Structure 1
Amino acid sequence: MELFAELNAWHWGIIAVVLIIFEIFAPGAFLLWLGIAAAVISILMIFMPNLGWEAQFVIFAIVSVLSIVIFRQWRNKNPEVSDQPALNRRGAQYVGRVFTLEVPIVDGQGKLHVDDSSWKIVGEDCDAGTKVRVTGVDGVVLRIERV
């Protein structure tokens, strides 16, 4: 515990820089907030150099949790706007498109060949050659309706 008793503003500043650098190499918006909390402790230690190590760690933990919670609430209220909202959601890219069945739908299930892949589909029974529109996606299953 003697090691912790020697913590000062420089130590917390170095910890802050290291955590922020780790965030650069492993982005996930988590280490950034821990780095900011360490920076807060570093600044606090400049004004309160006799602050005990126990209090330093408690304040670090509280500031870390608060900063993460505040960021997540802010991010939920301000979602990132994308010019390609269906990117990396392949099934969502097909909603609204019309396709011609190559294989009939039997008992509400079938397969649909789209571009270079085959999708499981659900919808009313249809013969091969029927035009269908994708109305939604349930995981890896496309919901379709007859056009």
Structure 2
Amino acid sequence: MDGLRILFWYWWCLALALAALEMFIPGAAFLWVAGAAGLTGLVVLAVDLPEPVQVALFGALAVAAWLLSRRYAGREPLDNTATTLNRRADQYVGRVLVLEEALSNGYGRARIGDSVWRVAGNEELPVGTRVRVTRVDGATLHVEPA
């Protein structure tokens, strides 16, 4: 490698290219390897290393980065909001509410945030009673005393 000289900013350009590639092929694998390239550039900036050592350093850092990405990717909790994405009311099952309108003749109203929902129940309950959502039927929340 007499004519080829790898400078520190070459590694940074590789890091930018890998990070850009992550936008087109998502999955976070290229992002971690881009970090390895950036770190290799920092080491080469601080210490003048021969090209074979630079490539070996990058290889080792890339493998380590990829292994770390697999280790930490498994720790992320699963997003369970996707299960109720198009069924907003299902997320309220189990939640305790306060009646804004008495539950009479099987129906009443309760506030959740800035919305008022129709609630249904088997018992007659006065305004201010705490109720727990047991199930959802369309836009009606079925409740029982909490």
What TM-score do you get using the length of structure 1 for normalisation? Answer: 0.52
Does 2:40 correspond to 1:33? no
CA distance in 2, matches of 1:2, 1:22: 31
Match of 1:74 in 2: 72
Match of 1:99 in 2: none
CA distance in 2, matches of 1:82, 1:56: 43
Highest CA radius of gyration, 1 or 2?
Answer: 2
Match of 1:16 in 2: 15
Cα distance change, pair 59–84 in 1 and its aligned pair in 2 (3 A): same
CA positional deviation for 1:45: 1.0
CA distance in 2, matches of 1:68, 1:80: 21
Match of 2:2 in 1: 2
Of stretches 27-36 and 77-86 in structure 1, the one that deviates more from structure 2 is 77-86
Match of 2:125 in 1: none
2:24 partner letter: F
What TM-score do you get using the length of structure 2 for normalisation? Answer: 0.52
CA RMSD in angstroms comes to 2.0
Runs of 4+ aligned structure 1 residues displaced above 6 Å come to none
**Aligned ranges for residues 79-98 of structure 1 at < 5 Å?**
79-85=77-83
Larger strand share, 1 or 2 = 2
2:70 partner letter: R
CA distance in 1, matches of 2:71, 2:63: 12
CA positional deviation for 1:86: 8.6
Match of 2:61 in 1: 63
Q: Note if contact 2:18-2:34 (Cα within 8 Å) is conserved in structure 1.
A: yes
2:66 partner letter: I
Q: Note if contact 2:29-2:69 (Cα within 8 Å) is conserved in structure 1.
A: no
Percent identity, please: 25
**Aligned ranges for residues 100-139 of structure 1 at < 5 Å?**
none
